[in-house]
Amino acid sequence: MNAPTAPLPPAPLDGLRQRFSGRLLTEDVDTAPFLTDWRKRYTGRALAVAQPDTAADVAAIVRWCAEHRVPLVPQGGNTGMVGGATPDASGSALVLSLARMNRIRDIDTVNNTATVEAGVILANLQQAARDAGRLFPLSLAAEGSCTVGGNLSTNAGGVQVLRYGNTRELCLGLEVVTPAGEVWNGLRGLRKDNTGYDLKDLFIGAEGTLGVITAATMKLYPLPAAQVTALAAVPDPHAALRLLMLAQQRLAASLTAFELISDYCMGLVERHLPANRRPLAEASPYYVLLESSDFESEAHARERFEALLGEAMESGEVTDAAIAGSIAQSRAFWAIREGIPEAQALEGRNIKHDISVPISSIGRFIDETNAAIERDFPGVRLVVFGHLGDGNLHYNVSPAPGVSPEAFLAHESAINHITYEAVAAHRGSISAEHGLGQLKPDENVHYKSPLEIGLMRSIKAALDPQGIMNPGKVLPA
Ligand code: FAD
Ligand code: 2HG
Ligand code: ZN
């Protein structure tokens, strides 16, 4: 790859100030919220935070950055888990906030598509789809603040991937500002289009390192007639896997969520978010939160769900279960699952591993990795939960009681090593859905082949020869 060109002396912001009066933040008090990530792991500095309203605005900013060789850090809702939207500490970068680009341009209920700007909050897109009698299925706990541009740039997963796929699979077209400041209008709402390289797939999951996504055409689906949620107690992850197989057999495409929650996670949520209470009388080592979406009726959904859970209880996979009796109860079940990241943050500093392995390996991965970590770091808390139906675990680690965060974090690379070696042994991924950001580029180089990293570098150099797009993210600086 071409080495990124050295930055020029501090760029004169005057050229931008004229066009972006009131939308170019330079005072510390205004820029601070954009400079620290959600986990409070990274705090950077910036030349300014620019807040464009249109793709033409974004193009003007990118052209200015290209001219002055100013690094550019795109930012959506700033809910990312790997520091991808946080600038480095040099203060030379411009943060580009897409938050004001929040218009829903079009909903086409015949083509089943929504064309939206990058700064649209995910929950607003879900609501707009519902208002049009359609489903936009991407769903994650940060949906009240994350943006469609951020979801695309991280190729976010969430809780319905096993039925609808991740964000990449929900996208039909993109509008992108290239690192040279040109606007590419690829907003095609086509299910079939084999006209050469799929450029949109390059920008999806690129974490802002290849261009700025300014709008997207996303797929919509029919709204289900009913959704039924259950929380099932299972003795261990192996039983959870057998339940997954049974649920897929009995419910087929109606199975829309299958989440694993360890008892330690359940306790964390109860402790830090006490409005949440576990719905089952007896504690169990693990629980599964399952959801089925039915296109006939609530009664039909409930009947199938009850039959499934009855069968699983008879065969011993499930030891107890509660089926939500109302929408409020279903929300309460989901609040437990979705409260885990916040509860863990309230508990203190932690080490996160967002890993995936083939679904068939999940049980063994947990057994082996738990044993290895407990052997070397007795007493640490294993915070295991996640999207079991996708083979994606949040295999997080918190300090043993009484151990200071500093002493615990001194072991971060050793704990990462154990975890990622186990992931590699199962031919898994060290980042299933959160991306690499500035947290994992080096680990990625270690676990991917030189050929694969070389191809990634070639793509980066071809699209961004000056290296101004979110440098130091995805690929090591
Ligand atoms: P940001 O954090 O602002 O940015 C993320 C990355 O995308 C950065 O590299 C940034 O530079 C780049 N970027 C942002 N917008 C653009 C753009 N328009 N063009 C180019 N690059 C851009 N993630 C999951 O996958 N599944 C989950 O279940 C999940 N649950 C979460 C729960 C909680 C409580 C929280 C806090 C986070 C969760 N996340 C999850 C992580 C996060 O919400 C997602 O990664 C989300 O997609 C980020 O969107 P954002 O708008 O906040 O992006
Ligand atoms: C989730 O699934 C998110 O809740 C966050 O991906 C995971 O906090 C985490 O580790
Ligand atoms: Zn997740």
Residue pLDDT, tens place only, 155-171:
999 999 999 999 999 99
118 CB near ligand 1 (under 6 Å): yes
pLDDT of 3 higher than 80: no
295 CA distance to ligand 1 middle (Å): 31
Q: How many CA atoms lie within 13 A of 115 on its CB side?
A: 13
Residue 1 pLDDT > 50: no
Residue 474 corresponds to which amino acid? V
Q: What percent of the chain is predicted at pLDDT more than 90?
A: 95
Whether 256 is in the pocket of ligand 1, judged by its Cβ within 6 Å, is: no
Kind of pairing, strands 212-219 and 48-50? unpaired
Amino acid at 387: H
pLDDT number for residue 388: 98
Average pLDDT for residues 50-74, to the nearest whole number? 97
C-alpha distances in Å from residue 344, one per residue of 20, 233, 311, 384: 39, 21, 34, 11
Give me the amino acid identity at 146.
C
**pLDDT tens, 109-149?**
999 999 999 999 999 999 999 999 999 999 999 999 999 99
Q: Which residue has the tokens 């009796």?
A: 325
Per-residue model confidence as pLDDT tens digits over 418-439: 999 999 999 999 999 999 999 9
Say what the pLDDT of residue 304 is. Answer: 95
Q: Which two tokens stand for residue 404?
A: 């200071």
- Report in angstroms the alpha-carbon separations of 431 from 128, 317, 351: 31, 29, 14
- Atom of ligand 1 at shortest range from CA of 149: 18
Closest residue CA from atom 8 of ligand 2: 341
Compute, in angstroms, the gap from residue 260 CA to the centroid of ligand 3. 11
Q: Are strands 94-97 and 48-50 parallel, antiparallel or unpaired?
A: parallel
- The structural domains of the chain, ordered by start, are 13-100+458-463 (3.30.43.10), 104-222 (3.30.465.10), 226-339 (3.30.70.2190), 348-435 (3.30.70.2740)
The reply to whether ligand 1 has any atom less than 6 angstroms from the CB of 179 is no
What local confidence, expressed as pLDDT, does residue 132 receive? 98
Name the nearest CA neighbour of 198 among 178, 220, 174, 216.
174
| Gap between the Cα atoms of 153 and 207, Å rounded | 5
Residue 376 near residue 301, CB atoms below 8 Å: no
Query: What distance in angstroms lies between residue 156's CA and the mean position of ligand 1's atoms?
Result: 7
In short, whether 83's Cβ falls inside 6 Å of ligand 1 is no
pLDDT in tens, 324-368: 999 999 999 999 999 999 999 999 999 999 999 999 999 999 999
> Does the pLDDT value for residue 59 go beyond 70?
yes
Say whether pLDDT at 86 is over 90. yes
Query: For the residues 240-252, what does the mean pLDDT come to?
Result: 98
Say how many Å lie between the CA of residue 138 and the centre of ligand 1.
12
For residue 101, what pLDDT is reported?
98
pLDDT at 14: 87
Angstrom CA distances, 321 to 230, 234, 312, 388, stand at 7, 9, 10, 18
Residue 212 pLDDT exceeds 60? yes
What pLDDT, on the 0 to 100 scale, is given for residue 10?
A: 63
Using the mean position of ligand 1's atoms as its centre, give its distance from the Cα of residue 99 in Å: 13
Q: Which residue do the tokens 């009850």 mark?
A: 306
Task: Supply the pLDDT for residue 6.
Answer: 57
Q: Looking at residue 2, what is its pLDDT?
A: 46
Other C-beta atoms closer than 10 Å to the C-beta of 107 total 20
The Cα–Cα gap between 358 and 391 comes to 6
Helix (H, G, I), strand (E, B) or coil at 34: helix
Q: Which two tokens stand for residue 12?
A: 């004169």
Q: For residues 254 and 5, which has the higher predicted lDDT (pLDDT)?
A: 254
Condensed to tens digits (0 to 9), the pLDDT of residues 379-406 reads: 899 999 999 999 999 999 999 889 999 9
Q: Transcribe 210-261 into DSSP letters.
A: S-EEEEEEEE-EEPPSEEEEEEEEESSHHHHHHHHHHHHHHHGGGEEEEEEE
Greater pLDDT, 4 or 474: 474
Q: Percent of the chain scored above 70 by pLDDT?
A: 98
Joined tokens for residue 394 = 């949040």
